[in-house]
Structure 1
Amino acid sequence: MSGDEMNHNSTTNGMVSAAAKSIRNRNADFVALNELCASQYRALQQTLRDSGWPVDGTNFARFEGAYPAGRSVCGGEEEGIAIFSKQPLGPADRFTLPDDGQREKRKLLCAALKDKTHMRFCVTHLTFVDDYRKPQADYVRERLEDYHGKGDTVIVAGDFNMQPNWGRMDDFYSAGVNTPNNDRNTGHYRELDDNDPANCAGYGESTVSKLDPGNAGPCGTGEKIDFIFAREDRIAGPYSADSLAPESCGGALCSDHRVLIGSVTVSVNGGASAV
């Protein structure tokens, strides 16, 4: 969302209303957001509540600060990650990823559905510090595997600051994804944009708003650094994803990332869920 850097903590420049419109128009089940100011989180909650999107307007969102309050960003409030759910949420689990030495502390935020406790949704935003990319990705993967061991079905979304074909992602992606664009994989997860033959099969579409010719991915179409992962043994049918251009906010783009949307049916203890 680039809540501070590009939107300057604004709740009135069009970013909040564009996000709410996108969520409503797609009738999304879950939403993951990065780099969201606390004020924008509250404003988006209120906008979605007023529009009648959540089933329970008092219990549909969770926020975890990553950049601390009392600094120059977000009007002195926290900037962080957030999840929104059409169905009511249960308690949230909040994890701090291995410390990369930066002021922003990278987090993993997860919550199960209140009435389907084995269905869990997570958001994360990994570091750009090279030596800590894999340790943080491994930490996230280990937490997902912990949930899996307890019988949970988990979908995780967010900015990993890595590309699918990087060796540091091999432990995430399933070998079933292996293509010339993304090989050597040994993990258990499928990314919802990994099987589109028209858009760099095994890698997916770019999720950054501007093409960098010097870093354009294996198909030359742009970097993919945002992901929606589900464990392959929980996927119960076709899945897909798409990368959409961000809206305009005050004459400029709302974000330097594209909007990543996905659809998947997953098996959950107690019954399948389409999300």
Structure 2
Amino acid sequence: MRKSHTRTGPVSGRRTLLAVVVALAALAAALSWPDRDGPGHTDRTFRVWQWNIAGNALHHGAVDDGLAEAAVDSIRHREADFVSLNEVCRGQFDRMRELLVGSGWPSGRGTFARFAATRAASPGLCGGTGDYGIALFSRDPLGAAREYVLPSDGTAEHRRLLCAALRDESRMKFCTVHITTSNAVVSGVPANVRQLRAVLKVLDGFDAAGQAYIIAGDFNAQPDYARLNAFYAPSASTAANPANTGSHRELDDADKAHCPGYGQWTALGTPGSAPPCGGRAKIDEIFVRESRLAGPYTAVALSVPTSCRGLVRCSDHRALVGTVRLRMP
């Protein structure tokens, strides 16, 4: 039986040489790509769900009128990774946590949920059932959390910025906030501006330490308001949202179908000033550091559920759901 032989002539030699050249070029390109975090960094996609539920103003702390179920049904349907809640009563937070555990989110009381009280329990608050504040949930277990007290607006509410790190990726943080509506001047600066500046200082500190973050909440400011110019990056500037000087993109600011630079409205109430694209106001935002973006991002404002007993609508805000891919530390 004849043995077969592999021939290595000039053509196959050129092919081998070409393959080596291509491989070396690919390696050089990879090595030349800027990587501020060093080798081994990864990209990760997050879906963020933000809702001001009006838990006291409309529901008076109720846990059995369908609000918690409406929220958790939407969270599950949208496959959220991170949930930010504003104007939530402690009992409503506890009920949502129970429902999420039943949906397969991390079990255990402290692993994936955080609550920060901005007003202590009182007879006229949340139906007298407990504290009132802001909260967050994470599909992945959470590690250390911290509450940052924001400058006072002179009212009984002590606003906070609540941030928690992922347990297994401690350099990734999720934050939620509810900024005051007050523009009362304190030491020469409006209260809402003072609070926004305090939030920005914390976020800048995260970035300086090489940490990634997402912040969601009710900022009580429309994107075109001057007090948000220090948040939005210049690249987000449009006719509907000009003069930006910051370092962030908002997950709804690239929505060309609605209002580029501004996004979709989220608040049912009468806006403080006319939105640049008409309609109602957008005051709920989801911000990420522009330098952390690893691809396109999107957001959509959802219809307000009508399933809450005794109410025409479950809230006076629309939930905002965004998807973003970030470069991880």
Which range, TM-score by smaller chain? over 0.9
**C-alpha separation between the residues in 2 aligned to 1:114 and 1:65?**
22
Distance in 2 between residues matched to 1:56 and 1:140, nearest whole Å = 31
Q: How far 1:75 sits from its partner (Å)? A: 3.0
Q: 2:249 aligned with 1:198, yes or no? A: no
Correspondence for 2:82 = 30
State the match for 2:25 in structure 1: none
2:295 maps to 237
* Pairing 1:74-223 to 2, within 5 Å after superposition: 74-76=126-128, 77-130=130-183, 131-210=190-269, 212=270, 215-223=273-281
Superposed displacement of residue 38, structure 1: 0.3
Residue ranges of structure 1 left out of the alignment (5+ in a row) = 270-275
Q: C-alpha deviations, 1:198-253, integer Å up to 9, x for none?
A: 1110011100135x488440010221100000000001101010111211211421
**242-251 or 161-170, which deviates more:** 242-251
Any idea what SS the aligned residue of 1:252 has?
coil
Q: 1:66 to 1:163 in 2, by over 3 A?
A: same
Q: Is the 8 A contact 1:205 1:221 kept in 2?
A: no
**Pair 1:265-2:320 in alignment:** no
Q: Which moved more, 1:244-253 or 1:19-28?
A: 244-253
Task: Provide the rounded CA distance (Å) in 2 between the counterparts of 1:241 and 1:94.
Answer: 27
- Aligned AA (2:85): L
Q: Which has the higher contact order (CA 8 A, sep 6+)?
A: 2
Question: Alignment partner for residue 62 of structure 1, among 114, 133, 143?
Answer: 114
Contact 2:142 2:164 in 1 (8 A): yes
**CA positional deviation for 1:122:** 0.1
Q: Please identify, of 62-71 and 80-89, the stretch whose mean Cα deviation from structure 2 is larger.
A: 62-71
Counterpart code for 2:154: G
Preserved CA contact (<8 Å) 2:85 2:176: yes
Cα distance in 2 for residues equivalent to 1:226 and 1:164: 9
Contact 2:271 2:281 in 1 (8 A): no
Q: Structure 1 residues 71, 222: closer, same or farther in 2, change over 3 A?
A: same
Per-residue deviation, residues 43-97 of structure 1 (Å, max 9, x unmatched): 1111111121x13444110000011113411133111000000000001110110
Q: TM-score if structure 1 supplies the norm length?
A: 0.94
Structure 2: tracts of 5 or more residues without a match: 1-52, 184-189
Distance 1:196 1:233, change over 3 A: same
1:256–1:213 distance in 2 versus 1, CA, 3 Å: closer
Identical positions, percent: 44
Q: CA deviation at 1:149?
A: 1.1
Deviation of the 1:25 alpha carbon: 0.9
The CA RMSD over aligned residues, in Å, is 1.3
Tell me: CA distance 1:213–1:265, structure 2 relative to 1, closer, same or farther (3 Å).
closer
**Separation of aligned partners in 1, 2:91 and 2:283:** 26
4+ aligned runs moved over 3 Å, structure 1: 55-58, 212-216
Q: TM-score, normalised by structure 2?
A: 0.79
Distance 1:213 1:175, change over 3 A: closer
For the 8 Å contact 1:98–1:139, the answer to whether it is kept is: yes
